[in-house]
Structure 1
Amino acid sequence: MLAMTTACVLLGACATKPLIPYSTDTPPLILAPATQAGIADQRGRFREIYCAVLEARGSEVPDNRPCVDALTRLANEPPPTGKPVDLGQSRRHLIAVVVPGVGYDCFRAWLDSPNGVVTHLRRFGFDGTMLEVDALPSSTNNARQIRDALMAMPAPDGPPRIVLIGYSKGAPDILEALVAYPEIRSRIAAVVSAAGAVGGSPLADDAEQYQADLLRHFPGATCTPGDRGAVQSLRPATRKAWLAQNPLPTGLRYYSVVTFPQPEHISSILKSSYDKLSRVDPRNDSQVIFYDQLIPGSTLLAYVNADHWALAVPIARTHPTIGALFVTQNAYPREALTEAILRFVEEQLTDPKK
């Protein structure tokens, strides 16, 4: 998604054709309440855990904010459970393995961001790493890279510890890997969509691959075009057809963290893409509509009050001038959010009834 937005900014504007073009080449679809679509709603418990983390960590984590402002409360959120929250050392020593979105490898050197999330997680017995995938190819290409990276890791000597977190296009890349390569499943404790483009984005219908390829000219970029399939992989027709034809493997735990920012929490540079996507639905994070971020049959953890970049790309921390002028809503307590995700997953893995 970052590639498409940056390309549109560089070009001045993208095309104005319909974001969702007329087509009969689509599987039957339905927009239904999440609970009627097999989604387990655990927002109440996750809010308890995340709020406890934010309160306990305070100024220890950058960009901390009150819990009421960190999450967006939608109607019918389940009530809190009242159960205590364990903020001690991890017993499962879960590892957050993040698969990034389009273009990340092109601007990673420019971002030059110390991995504060990993440092934070290690304080509490967790760990984290970035799984490198190509920046501009298709989900099919990147699924193979995910498979190879996971198989190169030491096999677990007990229960699996890897929590695969797919950000943006990283989510469909992960889902394709799970379907295509069953040998990786025993190594995975859980799968999380974090602002994942699970159902694609209508913005991809309004973009071409050459626009994403502009990121190859980003200062310091070393990324290659690969099969040049990133934009096609993100088109809603592609993603929804893939989901219809590829049931996700059972026996794994799937979770969804959805970005659903209040409009004032959209960075100024992302306003144009937010407005464009609002022609379909204003409940978007500037890149993906909220309902397209859910993994089918997953557990819904949260609606996060952050735009698409704020969730995972800490631009303003290393480039404060750009932050002040363009990514004006980039501050978000990512370290605390990742800790809360791992604590929720660990709680569920520990309790066989959940």
Structure 2
Amino acid sequence: MRASDLFPEPPQAVAGQPAGGVRARLTGGVLPGVIAACLVLGGCASKPLIPYSTDTPPLALLPASQSGVQDKRARFREIFCAVLQARGPELPDYRPCEDALNRIGTEPAGTGKPVDLGPSMRHLVAVVVPGIGYECFEPWLNAPGTVPKHLREFGYDGMLLKVDALSGSANNARQIRDAIMAMPPAAGAPRLVLVGYSKGAPDILQAVVAYPEIRSRVAAVVTAAGAVGGSALANDAEQYQADMLRHFPGATCDSGDGGAVESLRPAIRKAWLAGNPLPRDVRYYSLVTLPRPERISSILTSSYDKLARIDGRNDSQVIFYDQIVPGSTLMGYVNADHWALAVPIARTHTTIGSMFVTQNAYPREALTEAVLRFVEEDLAAPGPARGGM
């Protein structure tokens, strides 16, 4: 989640009021704040989002198949569809499989292999590293915790790894390292699947490169709507704008090292990728958010339109090709915007959901189960670990 695309009003400001009162409060108090917040990064500036510069590594935009990326979308689709069919409407925000995933280009044919929906044999644990600002608005969001609860029914588990909300990736990489090393090592094969959402993706990649001692404890790295190559929106933003999240109602975050926005700039991310080949003893998986335009929440259309000046294939925060880890396995293209993938705003704040975060519903429980089932199956397949270029 981006620093500026947040709601500055606490839920209790509109709770318990009649519809007319709620609308008045939204019009007179919440709505201007929402619009102002979104315009910080989705504003009207006419300057290029990626300015002219010679301070960049040589770059090339290539088909994924020519950049060391393995295309396994077909198998992930089989697994996700099987999970959705088996769990059905029992889980929140159900969608048919063809609406949950997008087909981009020529997707390979499915394998036809059966999908094991029984208890996990490896008991993988999804360790989620969140995006920018999460610690600041986490109390307000009051997420229901349904994803870990669902995973435990099938022998998996999930947890959130706390990192600084407003610090740069190098600082957060150290926190990831310390948190992993503080966990009791699991007997047998490693079970930790590091899941980097948004800025959490580069935070994890830096940790894996900088701290080799954690690699033996990590089963895999998954990036989900990851800002792997950065976001051009960060070129038009400053850290002081992100720092305003410290004043979000109920926030307990601090300014950290003040490097969050800079660490999301494309020039920084691409230079880091060029100078830091990913270690090959870890498996990497990329899950990309590439929604159909009608699946962008109304509050995110300004930032979507701004990024569309570069490429209309974006999730309102990150362009689709900047979400893929070099040398990774491509799992799929999710038909959801940047928030809908991982931040359940509409589930806990229905008024805001119905008026502003209008496309926030997504079957996250089923998606997370499918991700872990896919990774578990892929890790068990023969072949060398992949990563790097």
The answer to whether the 8 Å contact 1:16/1:206 transfers is no
Question: 1:198-217, aligned counterparts within 5 Å?
Answer: 198-217=228-247
In the alignment, the residues of structure 2 paired with residue 281 and residue 146 of structure 1 have an alpha-carbon distance, to the nearest angstrom, of 32
Match of 2:158 in 1: 128
Show the counterpart of 2:5.
Answer: 5
Provide, for residues 125-147 of structure 1, a one-character-per-residue CA deviation record: whole Å limited to 9, x for no partner. 00000000010010001000000
**Moved segments of 4+, more than 6 Å:** none
1:348 to 357, 363, 378: 378
Q: Percent identity?
A: 72
Amino acid at match of 2:36: L
Contact 1:41 1:301 in 2 (8 A): yes
Q: Which residue of 2 aligns with 1:293?
A: 323
Q: Contact 1:95 / 1:129 at 8 angstroms: preserved in 2?
A: yes
Distance in 1 (CA, whole Å) between partners of 2:123 and 2:330 is 23
Q: Is the 8 A contact 1:97 1:129 kept in 2?
A: yes
Q: Residue 115 of structure 1 is aligned with which of 126, 135, 145?
A: 145
**2:360 corresponds to:** 330
Amino acid in structure 1 at the alignment position of 2:168: S
Q: Partners in 2 of 1:95 and 1:61 — Cα distance? A: 20
**Counterpart-to-counterpart distance in 2, 1:126 and 1:16:** 47
Residue in 2 that maps onto 1:193:
223
- Which one of the candidate residues 45, 51, 65 is aligned to 1:35? 65
> Is residue 249 from structure 1 mapped to residue 249 from structure 2 by the alignment?
no
DSSP-derived class of the 2:249 partner = coil
Q: 1:99 maps to what in 2?
A: 129
**Distance in 2 (alpha carbons) for counterparts of 1:224 and 1:61:** 36
CA RMSD of aligned residues (A): 1.2
1:256, distance to aligned residue in structure 2 (A): 0.2
| Alpha-carbon distance, 1:4 to partner | 2.9
Q: In structure 2, list runs of 5 or more residues that go unmatched.
A: 8-33, 385-389
- CA shift, 1:353, in A, is 4.2
Q: 1:3, 1:212 within 8 Å by CA — same for their partners in 2?
A: yes
Unaligned runs of 5+ in 1: none
TM-score (norm 2): 0.89
Aligned to 1:172: 202
User: Which deviates more, 8-17 or 329-338?
Assistant: 8-17
TM-score by length of 1: 0.98
Residues 189-225 of structure 1 show CA distances to partners (whole Å, capped at 9, x for unaligned) of 0000100000000000011111111111111011000
- Which structure has the larger Rg? 2
Q: What whole-Å deviation, never above 9, does each CA across 1:29-60 have from its counterpart, x for those lacking one?
A: 00000000000000000000000000000122
Q: CA–CA distance in 2 between the matches of 1:6 and 1:223?
A: 15
How much has 1:178 moved relative to structure 2? 0.6
Shift of 1:114: 1.5
Q: Which residue number corresponds to residue 46 of structure 2? A: 16
